[in-house]
Amino acid sequence: MENIHYQIMKSFLTVFFTLVCHLLFSQVKDTITTTSGLKYFLTQKGEGRAIDSGAIAIQHYTLWLSNGEKLDSSRDREGTFASEYPSKNLIKGYNEALSILKVGDRGIFIMPYYLAYGEKGGTGIPAKETLMFDIEILATKKESLEKEMNKILYHNYEKDSIPKIQQTVKRFQALKEEGFKDTWMNEYAMNSVGYGLMRKGHFSEALQVLLLNSEQYPTSSNVYDSLGETYMKLGKEELAILNYKKSLDLNSENKNAVEMLKKLTKE
């Protein structure tokens, strides 16, 4: 039964992708091909502004492979995706798509392999693979919290020097009082700052950042998992156990918390 269900679903996705591609290439008037080879058409026209260079684009996206397989979607995760524009972390075709879209716009973009992951491909993406994205721009922010915090933490930073944690915490509190109105933030941005500090061996400073994250996102399992790891690095096993248990209470499927609790309690 599972094989039959899989085949039916695969057939449906293939047909869906084929129809979308047919729609794309048959829309002679509406489909645009850029000089780079990117093909696109808008499915929704917004009235917002263009994305300024250096701004944070808050968006939804869905990614399909050329065989119709849906590889990833922010909508499935019930959470938005944010990226700086332009960004070295984005493929060429995606950066170009962001240069075209305005706030409120939504479009279908076909990206040939040389605008995507190239001749070698990437994780889950075959070599020379053409990709299709459905991208919607929801809003823009001037700055990201992660970039703002790191800018202060590591100002004039040199190897073996101490990050400026007190100034960073003070800036965070000021942004919080403003309601983060021009700053993009989420729990993963704060987490990234904390882990950046840990990679440099600054565990006490990382703890302060991650404690702020737990205050901001008290129902996140991931936040307490990170705190558990930080306390463990600091040799505070009782607090590590407490936070891993809290993480597990919030998400019973957190396998990392289960494994770490086994090690810490020697069960």
Contact 178, 198 (CB under 8 A): no
Where does the pLDDT of residue 78 fall: very low under 50, low under 70, confident under 90, or very high at 90 and above? confident
Reported as a single tens digit per residue, the pLDDT across 44-58 is 999 999 999 999 999
CA distance 211 to 117: 37
- Is the bond preceding 112 in cis, omega lying within 30 degrees of 0? no
For position 1, what pLDDT does the model report?
47
d(CA 20, CA 66): 11
**pLDDT top residue among 100 and 28:** 100
Query: Which among 234, 221, 146 has a CA at the least distance from the CA of 191?
Result: 146
Give pLDDT tens digits for 93-133.
Answer: 999 999 999 999 999 999 999 999 999 999 999 999 999 99
- Residue given tokens 């990679």 in the structure block: 199
Kindly state the average pLDDT of the residues 149-177.
94
Q: Which domains, from first to last, does the chain contain?
A: 2-141 (3.10.50.40), 143-265 (1.25.40.10)
Distances (CA, A) of 2 to 6, 9, 10, 36: 6, 10, 12, 42
Owner of token pair 């992951």: 117
Give the range among 2-16, 22-36, 125-139 with minimum mean pLDDT: 2-16
Q: Is 60 exceeded by the pLDDT of residue 18?
A: no
Round to the nearest angstrom and report the end-to-end CA distance of the chain. 39
Q: What is the pTM of this model?
A: 0.74
* Nearest C-alpha neighbor of 243 from the set 263, 257, 233: 257
pLDDT at 8: 47
Taking the C-alpha atoms of residue 190 and residue 188, their distance in angstroms, rounded to an integer, is 5
How far are the Cα atoms of 64, 86, 117, 254 from residue 83, in angstroms, in the given order?
19, 8, 18, 27
